[in-house]
Amino acid sequence: MGRRNRTEIENKNTIYHVIGKGVEGINIFTDDADRSKLLQLLQKMVNSHKIHLFSYVLMDTHFHLLLKTEDANLSQAMQFLNSSYAHWFNYKHIRKGHLFQDRYKSYLILNFQYLLSVSSYINLNPVEAGMVDASEPEKYKWGSFRYFISQENAPYWLKITEFLQLCEISTNEFINFIKKNSFEKNKKIDTLLNQITNINQNALPKNIDYILAKANKYFGDINTNKNLRNLLIFILVKKEYKITEIAR
């Protein structure tokens, strides 16, 4: 079967979680100059392709973006970003060949709860990787969370106000949500939920029902526990469950 044409699922005013990974797990960022270049190109992509950027984080082997497209042009935008950066990176580091694995991965964001949980997952990547302390995720220089705390220093192309409005949440509520989702502060719940989701993922509809049943058994009704529901979505996002199944 041929590769699916990404333009078939692209629409106007659509929100995506986008992931770019280095081929075979190689580092796509080796120093701050690399990261700065990606951010420069990200700014150009936002301006030239009418992208609304809500969250981002640059790790060593990959990056995450949470964004909205005004036009049905995600593939064109990501082609510009990845190809421009790969060309610059290869020239700088005197290398040849592909830099990114499978161009990129993209996941539709279907509701504000999922939007909030994906942003939390993105902003806590450096905590999970041990790059910053769990109590201070804003200390990571190459992520967007620090700008939610110090919005006066935020770049104009990071749409913080629009993101908060979409999530129907205040700045302080969002900051507290991120802090509560810190891996260290939720270590016991995180461990239990990972155990619950550590099952065969070949039959996802059945598995999601199983996960919900176990979550209700261990922690109570997730429909009445907003924090638990958001944390469960957070864990499922982390484990790359399909968005349609999570939304259901």
- Whole-angstrom distance, CA of residue 95 vs CA of residue 89: 8
Q: Is 49 helix (H, G, I), strand (E, B) or coil?
A: coil
Q: Which of 9-18, 95-104, 163-172, 214-223 has the lowest mean pLDDT?
A: 214-223
- Whole-angstrom distance, CA of residue 108 vs CA of residue 212: 22
**Confidence (pLDDT) at 159:** 97
* Nearest residue to 181 via CA among 224, 105, 238: 238
Residue 187 pLDDT more than 50?
A: yes
User: 93 with 167, same domain?
Assistant: yes
CA torsion, ordered 225, 230, 231, 236, to nearest 10 deg: 130
User: 158 with 199, same domain?
Assistant: no
What lies within 8 Å, CB to CB, of 149 at 6+ separation is 138, 175
**Confidence (pLDDT) at 117:** 87
Residue 194 pLDDT more than 80?
A: no
- Whole-angstrom distance, CA of residue 107 vs CA of residue 240: 10
The mean pLDDT value for 8-35 works out to: 92
User: 197 with 233, same domain?
Assistant: yes
The mean pLDDT value for 12-26 works out to: 94
**Confidence (pLDDT) at 102:** 81
- The reply to whether 4 falls in a domain is no
Residue 131: exposed, middle, or buried by beta-carbon count in 10 A (0-12, 13-18, 19+)?
A: middle
* Nearest residue to 168 via CA among 228, 226, 129: 226
Count up the domains in the chain and report the number.
2
User: 199 with 112, same domain?
Assistant: no
Which of 177, 201, 225 is at the close of a domain?
Answer: 177
Which of 177, 201, 223 is at the close of a domain?
Answer: 177
User: 140 with 236, same domain?
Assistant: no
**Residue 153 burial (CB count, 10 A):** 8
- Whole-angstrom distance, CA of residue 80 vs CA of residue 179: 34
CATH of the domain at 118: 3.30.70.1290
User: 68 with 166, same domain?
Assistant: yes
Q: Is 11 helix (H, G, I), strand (E, B) or coil?
A: coil
- The reply to whether 2 falls in a domain is no
User: 80 with 160, same domain?
Assistant: yes
User: 146 with 202, same domain?
Assistant: no
- Tokens of residue 95, six digits: 């290398």
User: 166 with 190, same domain?
Assistant: no
User: 198 with 164, same domain?
Assistant: no
Residue 99 pLDDT more than 50?
A: yes
- Whole-angstrom distance, CA of residue 160 vs CA of residue 171: 9
Residue 200 pLDDT more than 60?
A: no
Q: Give yes or no for a contact between 229 and 222, defined as CB atoms under 8 angstroms apart.
A: yes
Could you tell me the residue range of the domain that residue 168 belongs to?
Answer: 9-177
CA torsion, ordered 228, 233, 239, 243, to nearest 10 deg: 160
User: 167 with 214, same domain?
Assistant: no
- The reply to whether 3 falls in a domain is no
- Tokens of residue 59, six digits: 């790790």
Which of 139, 158, 177 is at the close of a domain?
Answer: 177
**Confidence (pLDDT) at 7:** 41
User: 95 with 213, same domain?
Assistant: no
232 vs 57, more confident = 57
